[in-house]
Structure 1
């Protein structure tokens, strides 16, 4: 009853509104001396409860947009970091009671012992692979054991929910099942799980025969045996995931937890986890104590608004407050370093063509978009009892640490939050967001926020959530920093000059530009400013300003000013971006001491670059002049086919080598960059082997591709062979099984180094994607990059690349297995490009 009375109060807050209440002040005390847990990320649980329906009802574009909303930060996405995947175990084929996870959400991988069925999983895989492709940390979670390992013959539980339903002595067989499933995910579907939970809510007594979802009661002693078998078996399959113990159902399950932590497996359990449904102060304190005592990370691994409280009554604000309150409870009370919510259906509405974020989605965004991995909680307290504030700070950062503050007003009165920032010498507001009954993640109006001396006040209406993102500046206030941006620059010079002219009309201007405070703005103020601006600039750039034909391997070198203590280096592609860049900008490269006057830049051929070096002295940052130069050709680029011709049968080589290629039965079309070549399943490009003949121990191949609707298909996108028909380089993008194969280095026609990974259809057909394939035989590494990011890699691959004598793009060397799709901007290098260089090539096409 208590839970519903709290939520009913939230309902009243939104029903009444703000106008009848006068504002109360909530003093928020931030105690820098008391720091809490370091955050690992927010996450999302996947049970196959709703996602199969999404797969059936929405287009691939809508599903991709939905996953972007969950796992990316772009376009106001949540930026989730953890994907918790329920591994389906199916059920006894004679049973039909899994109403909570409809088919195919619970389709078994091993329906009978040693009988595997990997088909029909598309309704789950789109979500799992989509999360992995967006950089999520993958976590495999078993809710039950297969029915053929249960006492009752049912994966929903036993006839008595308090008795073990895993057959005694079958713990090792269950672990073998787990390993077999993990192997298939890794080798066939390209998913590596970094975390593993072998049991879910094992201490609960509600897992009973005929229930609506998988579950299995397992005693603490049997759980220890399961984990022992896992620790023995996982390495033999090539796995070393972090084990999570144990997805507890209750925060009061102390005896179960204590038994595990006192056993021999305790040292192999880095994370303890609990669900956040049934909560008490003693339960929270008990888990905190055990996490601290045993040195474990504490995760809150499941909570969702199962009842959709408030939502059926057209009061979405109620649900948003419920989510915000539970997140605050998990972070600031339970001290969770990760917070994982349940199925996404609770924060989205199912629209006719797409999934639409609810107000609860924006409540989560107030936390997940600003409290990012690596940030640390700072102790804070509210004087107003209906307010909840949590405060998080970035680690040390040369650009100035970010501070995230989230306040929830669960009360019925308008509140003014007054944040005590006396522990911070200087700060600026980066973002200010509010969700209330009338707002969804809106910018807070200027009139509702006020910056004071070492303080900040914000209006927090009843039933609202406020998030502030601040940058804590690493500098004291400078006399001549008139715009308070930690930099004395030309804008400050202009401000002083303008005030000097205006001040001629007044005997005592009283302006901040009167640095010397002598009631006049004159040369003495300019002299004071010049010490902060003019005396500490870098000089003498090499390459010289506006230089051309600079070698791509050149270092940037300059003269260090005598007064500089440290120096910040910036490098980019546009003058305006470099001129405006700060330490949190992509153009920022590194901070150097005064004794270093060079930077080893990663430069692309035939590109114009802009750069500057800032000089810092006694905390004062002084922007340097923006210099520029243009690079020439790279000598290790041995083939570059832009396919920008619009007719004829010749593809010109834009590298220094000029190895023009001949085209057979292919069509010119619009490309990703200019024009492109449509191989269309019939053509190919015959490339002179002179370029690939220069390969030895390293290679990089990059290209844009857009596969046709017939993909996946058994075809080849490029290949180079020696005179013995041994593959020196070869790629299938993909083969008919949907797997991308990258072969590089061969010792015989039947033996070559290979890496492979299953790809989602959006990665190879119907749209443009950028792929890069690298090998370094000396280091033994092979890598595949997708759209500028590392997608797959392996080590221990040392076969040599020398001896190539035949080279084709769009087919094999017999001119068959022709690629079905369009190819653009094909490049081959005789060295391994690094991640930054590959990302730069990808960005050229954006």
Structure 2
């Protein structure tokens, strides 16, 4: 039986019925989001990019990210794509489905020998290079996959019907001459790519033909030549597709598109309107009239004054940040949220992949309604648009067979969205009433949840109060009864863990099983954790448990560059979670990596590499091939405002410098060392203990700063962690060899640093005490132990029954060969016992 809500008010106009029928499903939603295909360097260089990423990814709960395929063999790697996907997945705590489109293959595969100005596929020896084009796509996907970008869908050619002066390549529906040019066939190129990619593990799904518009027989002519076995879904853009230049004028084109391959999913992969209400109505028409499964707004982030969901300013010159509408709160940070953002958010935030659009009708002539049911049938989402400019619309519901027990709603008016100073957007309304009034020119998203009785998670492993727990472990539990997913929270503050939600740093991820791996915990620390049982909109918050980790080794990360091939740089101390990459490649021989500035070679290390550290040490073996001002040995941070770095040559006095800041170069806390020569190997160590920082070169201290108030943890979870590259886009890349790079969770003592230098690269300090070698030499006792055990100190006691171990302060141990050595005078008195301790 359907659920109908009625409220009779004397003299008032009757509420119009919104009827939703979950028993009448339509298409499955695969993703809603936007594109980051151009001006990528503006985004990655923007000083407030982390705020922008939060808006773009978490703010929209984005489920489709369109990227360009810019792989060309000889060009610099597309590191911006790596960053976009890594940031999106870190922020969202889930994989982000990527749609990748190519604007042009490499120039050698083009008829005009260049990536731009149209042209078609090259024709040689009596044939078009279809197989070579397919190999290009194969190589591109392997490259992107090896760097963490695995497209769910691909389009082999963006707008194959559109010739442009920018990157483009024309494919006609069939081979043949047009105005003197012999054009390649899109259908044959698609067949070749399909064949080549079919052997890949989990190949991407091919979308076709991604033409510039539906009208003027364009989609029809390409569709007529396509073999349905060679592609997954139909893709198109909407340029010029309104028959009367109104938003409703797109409907005939969208309906026409459903006639081609009606059993395949449809994707609107590029278009957008800047007005909030128009953008929402367009999305409604695409989902209902066009029955699209995927929608990508053009563009997600864009420079200038119009065109993107998030508008950004020129990142390299703040004096040019003048385009934001007056009153924009974020103008001083060089970006603002465009009105259309809120239209997309009303659909993307709660309509998740796998949801089915279900039948929804509105009796109100000015109210558009669409509805979506999650795959578990536990959540129903409706998006309502009151398109009337001046009159509110009162509505009521019939939810069909959906057993709603709780609702919530969010609302944005056009006035709010278009007011640059407004902070009253996407307003939470709480529980929706039986006859809500929809304001004029507004969008309202309503969420209903079905009731599911949930039990609490139990049987935690580690057991409550467990001690000696490894710093890398697998959390395990028994999910609560009826739970479909578990949310896991962990941290060192029990109150924060008890109150945390998915947006808090204590959130560690979702699990559909009974386990979640956790890596990189601090040693000797009490940790608290909880597991929430979830089904649809129902949550049973679990109890807070605790455990104590075992003492962790001092060495947190180690990169010894022993890999023979590939772009991965292995962290032999903390495992795969600490692995880095070589985005632009590099030569590695005999455990050394050679970074070339001409190719912008550097090592990119994972997010949050040093975020939990207070006391720390960083050690590196380095040989400079040339010394350029500000070239970084390492640079960990977010941007030019928040970072810590070590440069071989600072531009002020030409010396080695360590600096840390959270307020740009003017707020740096520094230490300067000596001038480094080229061609020589140096062992360089930075340490911080409390407020005391020290800089060592070749085992000896060269600089001290006793007033350091910043530490790595002050930087937060750093996202740009580089060896050989700076946060500043204009700084040179490092021209050097690296033999070892190590990060310690403690400040190494002077004798440990001296030992590391004497041990040389590829040898580490020992974590366990060794046996002492003791010899009598006349009236002296000579005690020796291996050099690698520099972290241990000689101690003495006069009995072994409740011994009172005291340090042997005089004489200090000396390095002799490959050992520590102490000569003690023999004197009368009680028997003495010696050991090494920490």
- TM-score normalised to structure 1 length: 0.51
Q: Distance in 2 between matches of 1:443 and 1:466?
A: 11
The residue aligned with 1:268 is 230
Alignment of 1:388-537 (within 5 A): 388-396=368-376, 401-412=378-389, 413-421=391-399, 423-438=401-416, 442=424, 451-452=432-433, 455=434, 457-474=435-452
Q: Distance in 1 between matches of 2:457 and 2:202?
A: 51
Seen in structure 2, the aligned counterparts of structure 1 residues 372 and 157 have a Cα distance that, compared at 3 Å, is same
Q: Distance in 1 between matches of 2:487 and 2:110?
A: 62
Residues 302 and 342, structure 1, Cα contact 8 Å, conserved in 2: yes
Q: Distance in 1 between matches of 2:236 and 2:539?
A: 47
Of the three residues 26, 41, 54, the one matched with 1:36 is 26
Matching of residue 342 in structure 1 with residue 310 in structure 2: no
Alignment of 1:356-395 (within 5 A): 356-395=336-375
Seen in structure 2, the aligned counterparts of structure 1 residues 140 and 709 have a Cα distance that, compared at 3 Å, is farther
CA RMSD of aligned residues (A): 5.6
Seen in structure 2, the aligned counterparts of structure 1 residues 356 and 178 have a Cα distance that, compared at 3 Å, is same
Alignment of 1:63-74 (within 5 A): 63-70=49-56, 72-73=57-58
Residues 582 and 588, structure 1, Cα contact 8 Å, conserved in 2: no
Q: Distance in 1 between matches of 2:501 and 2:188?
A: 54
Matching of residue 633 in structure 1 with residue 550 in structure 2: yes
The residue aligned with 2:268 is 300
Deviation at 1:182, TM superposition (A): 0.9
Deviation at 1:673, TM superposition (A): 3.1
Residues 149 and 170, structure 1, Cα contact 8 Å, conserved in 2: no
Residues 78 and 368, structure 1, Cα contact 8 Å, conserved in 2: yes
Q: Distance in 1 between matches of 2:362 and 2:722?
A: 48
Residues 30 and 354, structure 2, Cα contact 8 Å, conserved in 1: yes
Of the three residues 255, 278, 287, the one matched with 2:257 is 287
Deviation at 1:544, TM superposition (A): 8.5
Q: Deviations over 1:795-832 (max 9, x none)?
A: xxxxxxxxxxxx999999733899xxxxxxxxxxxxxx
The residue aligned with 1:45 is 35
Q: Deviations over 1:489-539 (max 9, x none)?
A: xxxxxxxxxxxxxxxxxxxxxxxxxxxxxxxxxxxxxxxxxxxxxxxx999
The residue aligned with 2:594 is none
Q: Distance in 1 between matches of 2:265 and 2:360?
A: 21
Unaligned runs of 5+ in 2: 1-11, 90-95, 176-184, 243-249, 314-320, 322-332, 558-572, 574-609, 624-635, 638-642, 650-717, 728-752, 765-838
Q: Distance in 1 between matches of 2:118 and 2:538?
A: 70
Residues 67 and 131, structure 1, Cα contact 8 Å, conserved in 2: no
Seen in structure 2, the aligned counterparts of structure 1 residues 24 and 66 have a Cα distance that, compared at 3 Å, is farther
Deviation at 1:139, TM superposition (A): 3.5
Deviation at 1:141, TM superposition (A): 2.0
Q: Distance in 2 between matches of 1:576 and 1:350?
A: 38
Q: Distance in 2 between matches of 1:761 and 1:143?
A: 28
Residues 132 and 138, structure 1, Cα contact 8 Å, conserved in 2: no
The residue aligned with 2:158 is 200
Seen in structure 2, the aligned counterparts of structure 1 residues 144 and 410 have a Cα distance that, compared at 3 Å, is same
Secondary structure in structure 1 of the residue aligned to 2:424: strand
Seen in structure 2, the aligned counterparts of structure 1 residues 811 and 226 have a Cα distance that, compared at 3 Å, is farther
Matching of residue 218 in structure 1 with residue 218 in structure 2: no
Q: Distance in 2 between matches of 1:672 and 1:218?
A: 56
Of the three residues 57, 65, 68, the one matched with 1:85 is 68
Q: Distance in 2 between matches of 1:78 and 1:554?
A: 28
Seen in structure 2, the aligned counterparts of structure 1 residues 445 and 613 have a Cα distance that, compared at 3 Å, is closer
Q: Distance in 2 between matches of 1:410 and 1:174?
A: 51
Residues 408 and 464, structure 1, Cα contact 8 Å, conserved in 2: yes
Q: Distance in 1 between matches of 2:647 and 2:204?
A: 37
The residue aligned with 1:142 is 102
Deviation at 1:175, TM superposition (A): 0.6
Secondary structure in structure 2 of the residue aligned to 1:361: helix
Matching of residue 674 in structure 1 with residue 614 in structure 2: yes
The total of aligned residue pairs comes to: 531
Residues 85 and 140, structure 1, Cα contact 8 Å, conserved in 2: yes
Q: Deviations over 1:230-278 (max 9, x none)?
A: 23444689893322211023335454354344x3xx2231122121331
Q: Distance in 2 between matches of 1:128 and 1:539?
A: 38
Unaligned runs of 5+ in 1: 1-21, 89-108, 110-115, 309-318, 476-485, 488-536, 593-597, 644-652, 654-669, 684-703, 713-758, 768-806, 819-846
Matching of residue 118 in structure 1 with residue 75 in structure 2: yes
Secondary structure in structure 1 of the residue aligned to 2:133: helix
Q: Distance in 2 between matches of 1:245 and 1:281?
A: 21
Q: Distance in 1 between matches of 2:722 and 2:441?
A: 43
Seen in structure 2, the aligned counterparts of structure 1 residues 35 and 629 have a Cα distance that, compared at 3 Å, is same
Q: Distance in 1 between matches of 2:444 and 2:622?
A: 59
Seen in structure 2, the aligned counterparts of structure 1 residues 60 and 151 have a Cα distance that, compared at 3 Å, is closer
Seen in structure 2, the aligned counterparts of structure 1 residues 566 and 43 have a Cα distance that, compared at 3 Å, is closer
Deviation at 1:380, TM superposition (A): 0.8
Q: Deviations over 1:418-475 (max 9, x none)?
A: 33346343433455232330356836779x77745xx4x3332222222233433225
Of the three residues 84, 108, 113, the one matched with 1:130 is 84
Residues 433 and 441, structure 1, Cα contact 8 Å, conserved in 2: no
Seen in structure 2, the aligned counterparts of structure 1 residues 363 and 215 have a Cα distance that, compared at 3 Å, is same
Of Structure 1 and Structure 2, the greater helix share is in 1
Q: Distance in 2 between matches of 1:180 and 1:542?
A: 43
Matching of residue 322 in structure 1 with residue 281 in structure 2: no
Residues 377 and 391, structure 1, Cα contact 8 Å, conserved in 2: yes
Deviation at 1:416, TM superposition (A): 2.4
Q: Distance in 2 between matches of 1:567 and 1:146?
A: 46
Of the three residues 56, 62, 70, the one matched with 2:48 is 62
The residue aligned with 1:708 is 645
Select between 349-358 and 546-555 the one with higher mean Cα deviation. Answer: 546-555
Residues 409 and 432, structure 2, Cα contact 8 Å, conserved in 1: no
Matching of residue 245 in structure 1 with residue 205 in structure 2: no
Secondary structure in structure 1 of the residue aligned to 2:48: helix
- TM-score normalised to structure 2 length: 0.51
Seen in structure 2, the aligned counterparts of structure 1 residues 808 and 234 have a Cα distance that, compared at 3 Å, is farther
The residue aligned with 1:736 is none
The residue aligned with 2:334 is 354
Seen in structure 2, the aligned counterparts of structure 1 residues 581 and 166 have a Cα distance that, compared at 3 Å, is same
Of the three residues 748, 761, 776, the one matched with 1:815 is 761
The residue aligned with 2:129 is 171
Secondary structure in structure 2 of the residue aligned to 1:61: coil
